[in-house]
Amino acid sequence: MPATMYMPAVSLMPGGNPNQSCIDACSKCAQICEECFNLCLQEADVKARMNCIKTLQDCAEICSTAACYMSRESGNAKDICNICATICDRCASECNMFKDQHCQTCADTCRNCADECRRMAGM
């Protein structure tokens, strides 16, 4: 069962990190993608999910990377968030093809993260 409790980080920056909601969305998405990846490996139709599984790995990694870039206020954070949004959209589409609850939850989480990344990149 995917985690439903997610505790957002608290920024150490004075006044908080301006990208905190996107950092939180990326961190949550990375976690949910890793959990969905693990659960997909346990499904009977694992071979049919290979593209989804690979996309889950890509999504988890780019989301973790995006959160790190935003946390340190990298000048490249917007570029990373743009690609993160693209990969999150792909992952949502892949997960949406499977009707298990973990895939549907992951698809929703990816769509939310993509929206947050697009907002951040548009700042």
Lowest mean pLDDT, pick from 3-7, 85-89, 116-120:
3-7
- Classify 20-121 by CATH class: mainly alpha
Residue 102 has pLDDT above 50, yes or no: yes
- CB count in 10 Å sphere of residue 58: 16
Residue 11 has pLDDT above 80, yes or no: no
Best CA proximity match to 58, nearest among 94, 22, 23, 25: 94
List the structure tokens of 10: 């608290």
Residue 1 has pLDDT above 50, yes or no: no
Instruction: Compute the residue count for the chain.
Output: 123
Q: What is the mean pLDDT of residues 47-62?
A: 98
Report residue 17's pLDDT band, with 50, 70 and 90 as the boundaries. confident
High-pLDDT (> 70) share of the chain, %: 86
List the structure tokens of 89: 């959209």
Given a contact cutoff of 8 angstroms between Cβ atoms, the answer to whether 24 and 113 are in contact is: no
Name the residue ranges covered by the structural domains of the chain.
Answer: 20-121
Q: What is the mean pLDDT of residues 55-80?
A: 97
The pLDDT assigned to 9 comes to 56
High-pLDDT (> 90) share of the chain, %: 85
Between residues 85 and 16, the one the model is more confident about:
85
Helices (H), 1-123: 20-41, 50-71, 77-96, 101-121
